[in-house]
Structure 1
């Protein structure tokens, strides 16, 4: 049970499922694998408590081939938003293998996407490997904020860091900056 959020899984955002299908197709003939993350439904404009799968986390160092995908478990973050996993079956079989079942222990839902990766070429399973229902929801996903900054923001941060280190920019010393010697903010080096 999660603190301050309903653990009921309401479904998966259509845009997220489309991403999974496209990523699976791009990985073909190798398997694709990722971990599913969810957001509070109220943050997505739904007027009920619960969670909606909105993201897929791909772990660096994941290796795959036509019959398996392997994640270094030491690389998997302990993520409170994690609700399960997703992987593809390039052979099109939409049921978990015995190897899949051994990885289904963590999370509430596990999605298998199969070739040819069309709108109906996926199934959801619970952590025991039993088929489960997962609604596809039309919700507006929040805009990605990870790279929400400008060059001016970077320059200001570098200037502040330089000042914290006691470095005074040349123009504040009454000197001209030499842009031919390393470019803008080269005085921080």
Structure 2
């Protein structure tokens, strides 16, 4: 299994991770025709050094939201226990961008924490 993400979005996500550092950032990924094309930044989120808090009632109803993305301000790109708990509630694909926020430090996971390959498309 692999996940496809538009190059412009991938580069934008890397920049968001850099801009929010040393805090985490988070968002929801909109998929169009099997490719992640857009990110919706978590509305009214609290972006801390170790976690993100938000009110899920503020999320728009959007059937094209098929994944999440968040950064880890550490070089550890594996999902934490809290990440896995969140993944199990939300479903879809979950992308973690670890410090130093480079292409090689980005990982994608299924809802049960299995790593999947990322394909960047133009």
Equivalent of residue 126 in structure 1, options 81, 93, 110: 110
Unpaired segments of 5 or more residues in structure 1? 1-7, 41-50, 139-189
Deviation at 1:95, TM superposition (A): 0.3
User: What is the CA–CA distance in structure 1 between the aligned matches of 2:3 and 2:109, rounded to whole Å?
Assistant: 14
Does the alignment pair 1:29 with 2:12?
Answer: no
Unpaired segments of 5 or more residues in structure 2? none
Instruction: State which drifts further: 84-93 or 99-108.
Output: 99-108
Bigger fraction of residues in strand: 2
1:9·1:52 contact (CA, 8 Å) conserved in 2? no
2:29·2:39 contact (CA, 8 Å) conserved in 1? yes
Deviation at 1:9, TM superposition (A): 7.1
Deviation at 1:121, TM superposition (A): 1.2
Paired positions, count: 121
Alpha-carbon RMSD = 1.5
Larger-gyration structure (1/2): 1
Q: Which 4+ stretches in 1 moved above 2 angstroms?
A: none
Higher relative contact order (CA 8 A, sep 6+): 2
Equivalent of residue 57 in structure 1, options 23, 30, 40: 40
Deviation at 1:78, TM superposition (A): 2.0
TM-score (norm 1): 0.61
